[in-house]
Amino acid sequence: MRILKFAVAIAAVALSADAEAKVKIVGTIAPGTQYVSFTGPNPYINDTIPLLGWLRVRFNRPVTGYFSGDGEVYATSYDADGNYVWDENAGEGGSTLFTNERVKGVNFTVTDFMPAEPGGHIEASSTDFNYEFILYGLDRQVRYSITSIRPGAIPEPASWALMIMGFGGIGSMMRRRKRRVLRMS
């Protein structure tokens, strides 16, 4: 039984997301309001190209409408020796539609800058983002939250398969323990 408890504890630690999200925005939208706009932190979790960013937009009840976010991304390329090569900037963003839904993920991954020279790298940064909702038919107040999703927080199918096989192995080890047999002579 101790082995099983230990395995469950290890799995819980491995599957837990980082406690601190980079983006954490909460608010309410009043009934009859169709358009809401605000500024918040950019969604990117790294500072090299490709920039990776995912947000989860969640409402307390189903809504119909549109969510988007956009900002300016700056990229600077360096060669293998660390010397400056080029820089550029571009407007980047992401969006999603809600059709009587409560939760959606939005991808903000940026890959469309020139590639770095062999052995070099590209550093990137971004301004704060402008986020907006356009919602239809709100007859009562709705609460929303926008949070970062870390890519490691959701295991890939191969990770699930290994974990399930591991639990199966632990279960079979527990079943195969030697059983004491009482013999009467």
CATH value at residue 30:
2.60.120
Is 27 a domain residue? yes
Structural domain count of the chain: 1
The average pLDDT across 61-77 equals: 92
15 versus 31: the higher-pLDDT residue is 31
Across 79-181, where does the E strand assignment appear? 84-107, 121-126, 129-136, 142-148
- Is 10 part of a structural domain of the chain? no
CA distance 25 to 119: 38
Residue 178 domain flag: no
Q: Quote the domain boundaries for residue 92.
A: 20-154
Measured distance CA(144)–CA(7) in Å, rounded = 36
pTM score? 0.66
- Note the pLDDT tens digit of each residue in 151-165: 554 556 677 778 888
Confidence (pLDDT) at 181: 62
Task: Tell me, yes or no, whether 55 lies in a domain.
Answer: yes
Identify the bridge partners of residue 96 per DSSP, sorted by sequence position: 67
- Split at pLDDT 50, 70, 90, the class of 144 is very high
- Does 9 fall in a domain? no
